[in-house]
Each structure stands twice: as structure tokens, then as C-alpha cells.
Amino acid sequence: MKPFTYARPSEASEAVAALAADPDARFLAGGTNLLDHLKLGVVEPSQLVDVNRVTSTAIEDLPDGGLRIGAGVPNSDLAADPRVRERYPAVAAAILAGASGQLRNMASTGGNLLQRTRCVYFADPTTPCTKRDLSQGCSAREGWARYHAILGTAADGCIATHPSDLAVALVAVDAQVQVLGPDGARTIPIGELHRLPGDDPTRDTVLAHGDLITAVDLPAPTPAVRNSTYRKVRDRASYAFALVSAAVALEVRDGTVADVRIALGGVAHKPWRATVAEAALRGRPATDDEFRAAIAAELDAAEPVRSPLGGNTFKLPLVTGTVVSTLRGLAGGTA
Amino acid sequence: MTTMDARSMGTSVRRIEGPDKVTGTATYAGDSVADGTLVLHPVQAGVARGEITAIDTAAAQALPGVVAVLTHRDAPTLGDTGDPEHRVLQGTTIHHRGQYVAAVLAEHAEVAAEAARLVVVTVDENPSTTGFDPDAQAYTPSALANGQPPDSGVGDPDAALAAAPVVVRASYATPMEHHNPMEPHTTTATWVDGRIEVFEATQGVESSRQTLATLFDAEVVVHASHVGGGFGSKGLHAGTVLAVLAARTVPGRPVRFALGRRQMFETVGYRPATVQHMALGASRDGRLEVVTHDVVGATARYKEFVEPAGGSTRSMYAAPHRRTSHRAVPLDLDGPTYMRGPGEAPGSFGLECAMDELAVALDLDPIDLRVRNEPEVHPENGLPFSSRGLVECLHAGAERFGWSSWDRTPRRRLVDGWWHGVGVGCGTFPTLRFPGSAAEITFTGGRYVVAIGAADIGQGARTVLTQIAADALGVDVGSITVEIGSTQVPVGSIAGGSAGTASWGSTVVEAADRFRDKYGENPDDGDHADAATPDNPWAGEYAMAAYCAQFAEVAVHADTGEIRVPRLLGMFGVGRILNPTLGRSQLQGGMVWGLSMALHEESVVDPRFGEVINHDFAGYHVASNADVRVVEAEWIDEDDPYINPMGAKGIGEIGIVGVSAAIANAAYHATGVRVRSLPITCDDFLTSGLL
């Protein structure tokens, strides 16, 4: 691998300044994704700036009944926190649906949101990839596209999916991301953190070089969020990325959908908030037929990939089945 | 003819090296690190076919810490083993992506890797074909990988198919799969004064020694105390040759080459893809009139290996008219090789799924169908069977599994949102004995030292040979010390073909008999005897094979198509089980792999790049713990006096055979969806229109 230097600042501002001064520097947190990429030659940073000393590992109560999760909180601690488990069950379930115990011990909250796609072409520097290099085309469109996007894709562009389970659940609960950048601190709604590929698929998020996630805030849980879960469908029972996942929150009153949140993983370049389906369901009876019609409306815009190595048209019925099953379960039926 | 008496055999003697393994003190090939060991990092071809026109090593050589850079320009001419894979750095022709075209030796792994990246290889690329197309131009190979002829036939199968009252025709596909033992292939080699010493992850120290001696015309010593799994992939591959070539340039200094996981997908073999065209014709009462099994499989253009997928169809069921055939489609990939149950594992998917479809067509219990077609003698060569436990396995397994409690009609049981069903698949694997081993028994210090160059690749050879030697000598296992895993003890055949225990064990028994004949029960210090592997006098008189019946319960989610296997039961007819704990572990391991083959494993070649594109454990799925629920391995009592003195059939491979068919058949029973291509995934059900 290409030689690099390593720095371990003791102040967040130092870490941000170090990156701002070096366009090829990278933050290092848990390293569960970045170290693989270093070994594979997917990224070749000049400098690693270790942020483990400068990010909080605390989960604090917020005055409004919400929680502030330090960016350095390990995934395993976040999933195990009783407040998270009780108030935001989808968040805890999403974390436990991902990776392994060992990886969750290492992986940080901030790093989880910034992990890169597991597209096999992105992870192989010998194959063209427009996400690694804008001057190249997308290999997945005519390749092994089983895990790739069906929503929010651009014509001929990147069809990578975002791999984080946690991010999908955070989108469903409307988390806020605290960021420290070269120009100071700001707050980004989680739904606006990740990007669609558009004309620059090299950028997964709206963060600029040097922006450091310092915390993730969870707003006070609504009744729907307290009745939330995360359903992940994959090719084996554990230790695999999602073909399709859904973080779903549901409040039913008198058989009618009072509130619903649906965020999808494995279908787009970002966690996909199914706003069309949510709008279609609010005020409607909590029945399979209504659930099915709502998700069908969401999928009107889907553009699955047909590829000689196996496309992903099956994701249309898979999204439908996953969401319907999960809503039914939250409404008290068989999931 | 009787099998020998057993005292230790048949008991669960604990794995001898178990404490070393769980405490991390067992040394594998990469652990034998002396001071000054250099690390090798290869430079590999980036195209599937072409000619090297230039290699620029200047930047690599200039990197501090780099000791040597090897290319074809400075490599010696190697001896000819007849295996094209062994011709490492022998020219400019690229036969497959990932082929070694240069190598860097450095003081540290990171430096070696960076230097390898700096080597610039210029290639004139030639057109290549790496995607398997079963309809492409295929040829008839001269022989299958097991040495059997490609085709076989009895009677007039086409006419019989035209006349049969009930006919099932279907095609089944199995993908390319990679072995992926836990320990990647590793070589630590030192070259001193024309003598090569190698610590090697190998299934056979003697075969490795012979290969290296031929290639390098030198004295060779090979050690393999512990090997972290092989499954057919740990023959001698190009990486070992490369490591020894490198060691030759730095006399006296050890060179270590441990493959990375991605290199495991391009340099150490795989199970090639097959498409199997099956046709079964039967009378209305379920008697087979005809069986045909026509296989089209992938092979490598530069190194032929034809998976004998139709092989077991030659012996499984009686039918007066029969045909098997194998055709090969050459690809510009690295060479396929033996992989657990070579032939039988993919071939049983075709045959046993077709039998299930025939049972459905006949409205017959699939167990009854198989029982009705049990042959009296081997249906092709007419030999009697030394023992054949298939029918007993079917009955005993059905009883234990609760088979009769299930309604045979598909799509009847929906429990908590999951469709449940059951299926059965059968299998066989030949019982072999390899010639060429030698065993030496020496009485010293009150102990019997039994030396034979066997390989313990995790199957428990060290332990089971101790038990065999104890019983053959009539002493306790505590009096036996077994020395294996080196060419510094008498030669041993490979751990392969499910024949290791039979071959080494027969040899140890022969040596023990001679020892007792010479010295009786009270030998003196230094007494010793040796023996070579005896021929089996019954070879050619009987057909010898292990059999199994595999039962699966499958659940398919009614909304998402997710498929799970809550229960597997394998019932085996494998002669005497020498060590129930180790034997059950090995059979269960095979069954887990069968589950993994059924639901997960598929190497996806992207022909634009000539490589397996899902070349790591994120992309290439093997069953995880959560996929493996209840897996039971049981066996019938079977006394076979014709196979070897121990009465033991090999169990390394039979565990995987038939499992994928049992699961596919259970999935059909659960859902009504017939999946004829592995692996079986949620999309098979989602796109069926039946969920």
C-alpha cells in the first residue's frame, strides 16, 4: 500500500484543521471500512487523522426528551443503551442487523454514517468506477448489480447503494447530525446528509472536506417511533449487507394510520425516505391492501437494473413484501 | 474375510492436537517464521489472455526494503511436471487473470505490497472468453477429472425415452464455487546448498515434494504439521512454485508467501460451473426405464479439468437404458480443481432433483421411488456391491426425520408467515484406497512410534491413525505416538478422494501385523517393522461406495422469499465410524457446506474483466452461524469386510452430497416453486408469481 502519515490530535478543531490543510488526508475512526480500502488500494490517503481522541463516546439526554449520541460512541454501545432500545427500537435493531460483534465494537457512530458503498466494482481498483473516479463509467450497470439501486439513480450513472443500516433507522426517526467544519459548527438533518449520485457520485454526502461529525441528535420519540422496527432482507441470515431493508415506525389509532415513517435501505445511493408511501398511508386503514398500494406508489419512480450478470428487478416485489410485512407486524399482525 | 476387531476404533478419542489448536500453539505453514524471513508479494496479470511485452521493475527495486524482484527474464527453466500451472515465470504468455507474472521479496509485507504495485507490466491483450455459456462450442474431453471416460451408455436411451409412459426432462445449473479454507494457501521456503525446505499448507507432503523435486531438480523436504482445511484446493499450485523460485534467489533466508483472500479466487482452483440436462423415463408404477445425464461444464483452456458431474448417475439407480455424457467449454480462467465431492456434489443436484420431479409426476413418495429403483448390482459394470446402505438410510432417516407426518402435496404448511416443506436427496461417493504409502513402526522408550507421511487437514488423521494403530497392535492408544505431516517420515498418499484414512490406515495395519508377527506382544527397544500399502484383494470384484440420504426442512418467507433451513438430517451408510465425535463433525461439516452450496455460494465471473468479481467474503457468501440451525448426522450399522481391514468408508465428501437437492426439493414442497439453478435465493420465489 502507498505510504501515509498518521496524526492523532487531541482537539476536534486540530483534526478539522489538519484535513483542511491537506486535500488527501482522511479521518480515521474505527477503521472498519477505511483500513480495508487502504489494503485494497481503493483509497490512497497522504495522511490519516485519528479522531478517536476528539469525538465523544457519551450518550446524553437532551432537554426535550431526545438523546445526543457522541460521534465516537461504538455501534455496540449504542445498540445496547436502554434508552435507545426503549425509545428508538428501530435504531437498536438496525445496528444489531449489521456487521458482527467484533466490528460493532470497533465501528463508531459517525463512521457508520460515512462508510462507503460495498459495490464490488468500487472495491476493486482494477475495474472502472465512476464513484472512485468521475472520468470513468459505471461497471455495475452491465455487471453484477444484484445489490444495486433502483431509486434515485441518474441515467448511465452510479447505481451504488449506501450500506449503513444505522443511517436508514436514523432517517426514519428524523435525527440531526452535528458537524464541525473549517468554518465552525452546523446542524444537518440526517435526511439531507447523504446525496443522490447526480452528476458527482464520488460524493456520498453533503459534507465538505474537513467536516467532522461530532454527534447525532435523536429528537424526542413520537408514539410511532416508539413502535418502530428494522427489517433487513439479505442473502444469508446474518453478516451480509441488505438487499432491501426497511426502518418502519407506525402509530395506528382505531384501525387507521395516525403516523407512519418508512425509510428504505439497499435501494438507493442514500437511505430512502418513502415519503410518497407515507403520505398515501396517513389517515388510511391499516390493512395489507392499503400498505401494498402505498408502497406501489412509492415504487412508481423505480428504475431497476437489467444486466447480463443478473439485475435487480426482483427488488420491486422484495421492497413491497418487506414493507408490507413490517407494517403488518407493527400493526399487530404476522410479520 | 472380516473386519478387524475394534477396541479404540469406534470410540470418541479426543482430538490429539486439540489443546494445541485451541491454545494457538499448533504451527501452520505461515507460523514457521525464523528471523530474517522475507515476505513475497506477487505481481499478477491484469488481463485474461495476452503476451507480456515489457516489465519495468526499476521503481520497485529502488524502494528501500526490497531485496529482489523476480520476473520471467531471470527465472530458471523448470522441470516438467505435466501441469501447466507449475510453469511459473516460464514465459510471456498470459493464460488467465491473476497469473503470476513477477514477484517482489522484501523485509516487510507492506513494502513488498507497495513494490509489487510499482512493477509496470506491459501486455498485448488478446481476446478472451471467461463467462460460461453452456450453449457455446464444447468438446468431448478424453477423460474426466477422476480418470473415468466422459461418456457411458447401456441400451437405447433415446428410444426408451420415446416409449416411456412418464418422462421428466429438465436442466439444472450449478455455479462456479471456490473452496475458501479458513487458512489461505501459505508457503514458507528456504533454499540451502541445493536443498529446499518447505513448510506448506498442503493435502500431501509427498506429492508436494515430488512436484518440487521435478521442477527444481533438487532435494526437497516438505512439512505440514497442521493444515487449516483443504477441501481439494491444497494440491501444489503456482504460488508454491513462485515462493521456491524466490527462495532460490536468497539462499539461506526463509521466504514466506501467504495468499490474501482475493488471491484465493484466482490461483488455487475452484469447482467449475455445470449445466446438467436430465431425462428420466419410468413406468406408471415408478420403475425407471431410462436415465440420461448429459453434462456441459466449464474447464480452463490452458489446463483441462472436467467435473465428473454425471459420474454417480452411473451407479445410483437401476434402469435398463442409460446414458451419461460430459462436454467441456474452455475458458480463459485459472484451472478448476477437485472440490469436496467433485462430480458427486453438483451431479447429485441434477439427478436427485430430477428424481423428485419424477416422483411428483408419478404422484409417488420420493422415498418409495428410490426404493423401487434400487439396483441389485452395479447397473453399468454388473459388479456386486461390497455393501450398499441407501435403502436402509432412506428408511432410517425418514423414521428419524418424521417424514411420514408431512402431507406430500406442496404448499400446505404456512407457519408464522413462512411456508414450510421437506425434501430428500441421496448420494454416493466411491470408497477408494490409494497405493504408495509406507508406514514404519518402532518400539522405543516403551511406546510405539508410528510414522507415515499422512496429512491432517483438520479431519483428524492424527487421532484416527492412533486408534487404528492401537487396535492393530493390540495396545492402548496411550502407547502410540503417530508422526505424520512431513517427508522426513515414510511416504504417505494425499488427504483426498475420501481415501486418506483407508489408505494410510490399511498401511498402518499391515505394518502392525508384521510387527506383531516379528516381535509378538513384548517387543524390545528399537524393534521395528515397516510395510507398504497392501493391494485390496477385492478390488475389481465388488463395487465399493458410501451412500447417504439427506433430509431437509425448508422455510420460505411468504412476503419476502427469504429461504432458511431449520433442519437437516443426514443418514449415512459408511461402514464403521472410527471416531464418532470426529466423524460426526466431518459429516456435519459436509452438510453445512451442502446448505451453503444450496443457498449461498456462487463465484460471479465478470467477463469484461476476466475475474471473479465477488472475490472476498463480503461478496462470496458462505453459510453463517445464523443460517445453520439443526444439523444432525447419523449412520446405520454397516459391516463391510471387503473395503479395508478397518471396515471404514471415507467420510470426507459424502456429507455434502445430496444436500442441495434435498433443500431444493424441500423448497418446492414448501412453495410449489421448482428452482433448478443454484444458489436458491429470494428472487427465485419473488419472481415466480407464486408467493
Domains and CATH numbers, chain A: 1-53 (3.30.43.10), 224-330 (3.30.390.50)
Domains delineated in chain B? 18-26+434-532 (3.30.365.10), 32-127+181-260 (3.90.1170.50), 152-176+271-431+541-686 (3.30.365.10)
ipTM of the modeled complex: 0.97
| Separation in Å, CA of A232 to nearest CA in chain B | 10
Measured between beta carbons, which residues in chain A are less than 8 angstroms from residue B416? 334
Q: Which amino acid type is present at position B54?
A: A
What residue of A is the nearest CA neighbor of B595? A236
Closest-approach residue (CA) in chain A for B109: A1
β-strands B38-44, B255-258 pairing: parallel
Strand order in the sheet with A244-253: A228-233, A244-253, A256-265, A272-273
CA within 13 Å, CB half, A79: 24
| Interface test with chain B among A118, A121, A124, A136, by most B beta carbons within 10 Å | A124
B623–A contact, CB cutoff 8 A: yes
Give the separation between CA A36 and CA A21, rounded to whole angstroms.
Answer: 25
Residues of chain A contacting residue B613, judged by C-beta atoms under 8 Å apart: 120-121, 124, 127, 143-144, 309
The answer to whether B559 faces chain A, any CB pair under 8 Å, is yes
Distance to chain B for A313, nearest Cα, Å? 9
Residues of B whose CB is below 8 A from A233: 560, 562, 682
The confidence score (pLDDT) of residue B212 equals 98
CA B685, CA B691: separation in Å to the nearest integer?
6
Task: Name chain A contacts of B619, Cβ cutoff 8 Å.
Answer: 120
pLDDT of residue B92: 98
Q: Identify which of B114, B560, B619 has the shortest CB distance to residue A325.
A: B560
Cα–Cα distance, B521 to B511 (Å, whole number)? 14
**CB distance B613–A120 less than 8 Å?**
yes
Enumerate the residues of chain A whose CB falls inside 8 A of the CB of residue B611: 124, 126
User: What does the pLDDT read at residue B71?
Assistant: 98
Cα separation, B287 vs B408, in Å, equals 20
- The answer to whether the CB atoms of A237 and B417 lie below 8 A apart is no
* Interchain contact B110–A (C-beta under 8 A): yes
CA torsion sign for B374, B380, B385, B388 is: negative
Distances in whole angstroms, Cα of residue B621 to Cα of each of B275, B586, B596: 21, 21, 8
pLDDT at A2 over 90: no
Q: Residues B439, B452: contact at Cβ < 8 Å?
A: yes
Catalytic residue at B653? yes
In angstroms, the separation between the Cα of residue B508 and the nearest Cα of chain A is 44
Query: Which residues of B fall within a CB distance of 8 Å from A321?
Result: 557, 559-561, 686, 691
pLDDT band at A275 (very low <50, low <70, confident <90, very high): very high
Calculate mean pLDDT across residues A237-241: 95
Q: Is the dihedral of CA B350, B352, B358, B360 positive or negative?
A: negative
Cβ atoms of B95 and B271 closer than 8 Å: no
Q: Cβ–Cβ of A233/B599 closer than 8 Å?
A: no
Q: Which three-class secondary structure state does DSSP give residue B392? A: helix
Report the residue from A118, A310, A322 with minimal CB separation from B618: A118
CA distance A220 to chain B (A): 32
**Which pairing describes strands B186-192 and B195-200: parallel, antiparallel, or unpaired?**
antiparallel
Residue B51 Cα, gap to closest chain A Cα (Å): 19
Walking along chain B (691 residues) 10 residues at a time, the average pLDDT comes out as: 91 97 95 88 98 98 98 97 98 98 96 97 98 97 97 98 98 98 97 96 98 98 97 98 98 97 97 98 98 98 98 98 98 98 98 98 98 98 98 98 98 97 98 97 97 97 98 98 98 97 98 98 97 97 98 98 98 98 98 98 98 97 97 98 98 98 98 98 93 76
Classified as helix, coil or strand, B656 is coil
Please indicate whether, in this complex, the C-beta atoms of B687 and A317 are within 8 angstroms of each other: yes
Q: Which residues 588-607 of B are in CB contact (within 8 Å) with A?
A: 599-600, 604, 606
Tell me which residue of B48, B90, B46, B85 sits closest to B70, measured CA to CA: B90
* DSSP-derived secondary structure for A51-101: -TTTS---EEE-TTS-EEEETT-BHHHHHH-HHHHHH-HHHHHHHHTSS-H
Average predicted confidence (pLDDT) for chain A: 97
User: Mind telling me how many Å the CA of A11 is from chain B's nearest CA?
Assistant: 30
Bin B497: left if φ > 0, else alpha if -120 < ψ < 50, else beta. Answer: left
The whole-number pLDDT of residue A154 equals 85
The answer to whether the Cβ–Cβ distance between B613 and A243 falls below 8 Å is no
Q: What is the pLDDT of residue B1?
A: 60
Q: If interface means Cβ-Cβ distance under 8 Å, which residues of chain A face chain B?
A: 1-3, 41, 118, 120-121, 123-124, 126-127, 139, 142-144, 233, 235-241, 243, 309-310, 313-314, 317-318, 321-322, 324-325, 334-335
pLDDT value, residue A17:
97
Q: How confident is the model at residue A88 (pLDDT cuts 50, 70, 90)?
A: very high
Hey, are the CB atoms on B117 and A41 less than 8 Å from each other? yes
B contact residues 659-688, partner A, Cβ 8 Å cutoff: 681-683, 686-687
- Contact of B167 with chain A, judged by CB distance below 8 Å, is answered with no
CB contact under 8 A, B609 and A309: no
Chain B residues close to A123, C-beta within 8 Å = 616, 618
Distance from the Cα of A322 to chain B's closest Cα (Å) equals 6
What is the least distance, in Å, from the CA of B261 to any CA of chain A? 11
Q: Which residues of A touch B560 (CB under 8 A)?
A: 233, 318, 321-322, 325
At residue B35, φ and ψ (nearest 5 deg) are -60, 145
Q: Mutation test of the interface with chain B: which of A103, A239, A288, A319, choosing the one with the most B Cβ atoms within 10 A?
A: A239
Between A and B, how many residue pairs show a Cβ–Cβ distance under 8 A?
Answer: 99
Half-sphere exposure of B645 (CA within 13 A, CB side): 23
B133: Cα within 13 Å, side-chain hemisphere:
10
B621, A238: Cβ pair inside 8 Å? Answer: no
